Structure 1
Amino acid sequence: RGGNFAKTMLRLAQERERLTVIDDQWGAPTGADLLADVTAHAITHLQSRPDDGGLYHCVAGGETNWHSYAKYVLAQAEKAPAAIKIKATDVAPVPTSAFPTPARRPHNSRLDTTRLQATFGLTLPPWQQGVARMLAEIL
């Protein structure tokens, strides 16, 4: 319920005509609700198959970069029943170097969930599904 990238993009898109968003950092936006659901499923599974315990990667399906994620958020906001007024007409892609920070960010945060899905019989939903769900709650 706090701040997040999508909320920031929505706020900035209402204030500015042009946004610049990093396009060379890749990952999959993953909500806490998906992590909670997968954890509950894994706990139930492990009660009868404790040998399946171990370390697993869990993220939503698919991949995106921050720029594409921002464009998806704004497109969904414009289609929402209570559409907000988007002022930004340009979302420009820029490299990480355009936003220097003290912390170094990885260019690739993609995780392989093959083992998790095979062990627990799961198909992880695409990242867009979780983002659309979150946007439906906040818009």
Structure 2
Amino acid sequence: MRLVILGATGQVGWQLVQQAPSGVEVIPIARQGTAVTLDLEDLEAIPKVLKTLQPDVVINAAAYTAVDQAEQEPERAQRINGTAVGLLAETLATVGGLLIHYSTDYVFAGHQSRPYRETDATAPLNAYGYSKWLGEQAIATHHPAHLILRTSWIYDLRGKNFLRTMVRLAQTRPLVRVVADQIGTPTAAPFIAQVTYQLLERWQADSSLRGLYHLTPRGSTSWYGFAAKIFDHLRARGYATATLEAIPSSEYPTPARRPAFSTLNCEKLEAVLGTPLPPWEAVLEPLLDQLDPQSVL
């Protein structure tokens, strides 16, 4: 199998490269720093690269992810997350091969109180969510052999993310105020890569596997609840931490509106995997154990 990983230097992409199964030819691709490079804003380059490489599987972990900045440059977000993704799908429909693509909980408005299923209506509140929704639609339109994996609140030990930010602020500020009225599920990049490869293994056994799936651990929390877990871990290891205060989102205005509730129902994915997914706390704990708090300062 020849596997192309786009966005190979990002949080999820890097984990995909690290966890790639043996016996698979992996071609990591990023905008820079890889032997083969590709910028998804260069629309003409997309079909050229894929037709040259002739991959059996493309995992697209590349995206425009600056949620607030997207409000100022929605066209750029749509070009990368929508138009470019559509070109990936169109080209793979010609070349042949599976497209695995990551989307977001932000395609939902967040007005309901039960976890969102794949069949629930989408209604993005912000430009980023809309651009990711465009990508989903483009894939579904152009290439039947696809797996679209919606996930949420991604973090890792590397890169720019909530976990690393909270560890840094806990050690450098007297008070940290975190929003407590947005509910979702923290999802670790290593976990996303692990489950992606479990799905890929099942696709190899049955190539009719395709469609849209939600991929997060079980359970949900607020950003405040996520931060509290991180702070508790730091204190348990003897680190002095800031005072943590819960606030409403009205006290932390951002350019982009976020859904108040965006927990994803992952029963469809669990049925394919044949096993329950772990709770988000169990996914977080081993990463916290590996974390050197000094490394984020």
TM-score normalised to structure 1 length? 0.89
Establish whether residue 136 from structure 1 lines up as the match of residue 289 from structure 2.
yes
Establish whether residue 104 from structure 1 lines up as the match of residue 257 from structure 2.
yes
- Normalized per residue, the structure richer in helix is 1
- 1:20, 1:78 → 2: CA distance? 17
1:130 deviation in Å? Answer: 2.1
| Aligned twin of 2:193 | 36
Establish whether residue 61 from structure 1 lines up as the match of residue 218 from structure 2.
yes
Establish whether residue 120 from structure 1 lines up as the match of residue 247 from structure 2.
no
- 1:4, 1:131 → 2: CA distance? 13
- 1:96, 1:24 → 2: CA distance? 6
- Normalized per residue, the structure richer in strand is 2
What is the number of equivalent residue pairs in this alignment?
135
- 1:120, 1:135 → 2: CA distance? 26
1:60 deviation in Å? Answer: 1.2
Establish whether residue 92 from structure 1 lines up as the match of residue 249 from structure 2.
no
| Aligned twin of 2:4 | none
1:91 deviation in Å? Answer: 1.6
- 1:17, 1:48 → 2: CA distance? 54
| Aligned twin of 1:11 | 168
1:36 deviation in Å? Answer: 0.8
Percent identical: 37
Determine if contact 1:56/1:116 at 8 Å carries over to the other structure: yes
- 2:239, 2:290 → 1: CA distance? 14
- Provide the secondary structure at the position in 2 that maps to 1:34: helix
- 2:260, 2:214 → 1: CA distance? 18
**RMSD, aligned CA:** 1.4
Q: Which consecutive aligned stretches of 4+ in structure 1 deviate over 6 angstroms post-superposition? A: none
- 2:275, 2:211 → 1: CA distance? 16
Determine if contact 1:27/1:109 at 8 Å carries over to the other structure: yes
- Provide the secondary structure at the position in 1 that maps to 2:208: helix
Structure 2: gaps spanning 5 or more residues: 1-157, 293-297
- Provide the secondary structure at the position in 1 that maps to 2:246: strand
Q: Which has the higher contact order (CA 8 A, sep 6+)?
A: 1
- Provide the secondary structure at the position in 2 that maps to 1:44: helix
- Provide the secondary structure at the position in 1 that maps to 2:176: strand
- Provide the secondary structure at the position in 2 that maps to 1:20: strand
Establish whether residue 51 from structure 1 lines up as the match of residue 208 from structure 2.
yes
1:122 deviation in Å? Answer: 2.6
Determine if contact 1:57/1:112 at 8 Å carries over to the other structure: yes
| Aligned twin of 2:233 | 76
Determine if contact 1:116/1:122 at 8 Å carries over to the other structure: no
- What's the CA shift string for 1:26-71, capped at 9, x where partnerless? 1111011111111111111122223332110100111010011111
